[in-house]
Amino acid sequence: MNTTANRRLPIGVFDSGVGGLTVLKALREALPGEDLIYLGDTARLPYGTKSPASISRYASQATRLLQQRDIKLLVVACNTASAVALDVLREQMQPLPVIGVVEPGASAAVAARPAGRHLVLATEATVRLGAYRRAIELLDPAARVNELACEMLVSLAEEGWHDGAIAEAIVARYVDELGAVAEAADSVILGCTHFPLLRAPIAAAFADSVSVVDSASTTATVAHDLLDSLDLAADRGHPGSVRLLATDGAGRFARVGGWFLGADLAANDVELVDL
């Protein structure tokens, strides 16, 4: 059984930038009593276009910093890092647990559409690694999976152009590339933490019957259940705290990050750290 001290340790959340704040927001909602430390590696974003070796190295450095802050659980809120580096980070964090966003997203999609035709929208690196495909096929051999790299959606989300004609035209252009595959999709998986901000134009590009799956809330549910099963959930009655760390650009982190977190942030809410 864990001690009270262990249960009161924070949860570490790591992302390449601000996108993972959509996961942080879901964690706050699912686990209001937990302290959360979020680290955005803004100095080296985006991870989505980088090589697996670089992504693994960056993710491992970020994890080391969070380990120094005595976390009890690591949530890898970056799809690309989850796709590339989860095994490495699990080894590094032993015996403490690590959750990525790919497996929760894949199981939410399979639960929503058994034997379904899934379309994964993600970054180049996540698509190249086929992480969602493997996770879905493992859970549901009858599923069919297509993946599409949509880099422009990342900058669209970061620019704050979350709806309107340009967002719709960019989504439509990606979807048009797929033709019949897009038309046949039963579920669309938002395989990048930036994409929940673009849920409206993405949903508009597909039939009403399509399930749009967002891994943020599913990941938070997995974290909740895992802490319970490991007897690591905070048992205090007051709300937990949130600390935000970034490797560069506190002002930009606050401005853009506020959209993702759904709360106003100021530059001095963000602590700059070196990796």
The site for a copy of itself (CB under 8 A) is made up of 42-44, 49-51, 54, 124, 151-152, 154-156, 158-159, 161, 165-166, 169-170, 173, 248-249, 252
Residue with Cβ nearer a copy of itself (34 or 147): 147
Whether residue 64 contacts residue 92, with contact meaning beta carbons closer than 8 Å, is answered with: yes
What gap in Å lies between CA 199 and CA 163, rounded to an integer? 9
Give the shortest CB-152-to-a copy of itself separation in angstroms. Answer: 5
The residue with tokens 């599923």 is 143
Please confirm, yes or no, whether 78 is among the known catalytic residues. yes
Q: Which is catalytic among the residues 73, 192, 234, 265?
A: 192
In the residue annotation, 150 being an active-site residue is answered as no
Answer positive or negative: Cα dihedral of 113, 119, 123, 126: positive
Strands 11-15 and 36-40: parallel
The structure tokens 């999709």 sit at 185
Q: How far is the CB of 136 from a copy of itself (least distance, A)?
A: 26
Rounded to a whole number of angstroms, the minimum distance from the CB of residue 58 to a copy of itself is 9
Dist. CA 175–CA 196, nearest whole Å: 17
**Rg of the chain over CA atoms, in angstroms?**
18
- 243 DSSP assignment: E
36 vs 125 by CB, closer to a copy of itself: 125
Nearer to a copy of itself, 121 or 233 (CB): 121
User: Considering 26, 78, 154, 256, which one is annotated as catalytic?
Assistant: 78
What's the min distance (Å) between Cβ of 178 and a copy of itself?
16
- Indicate which residues carry an active-site annotation: 78, 192
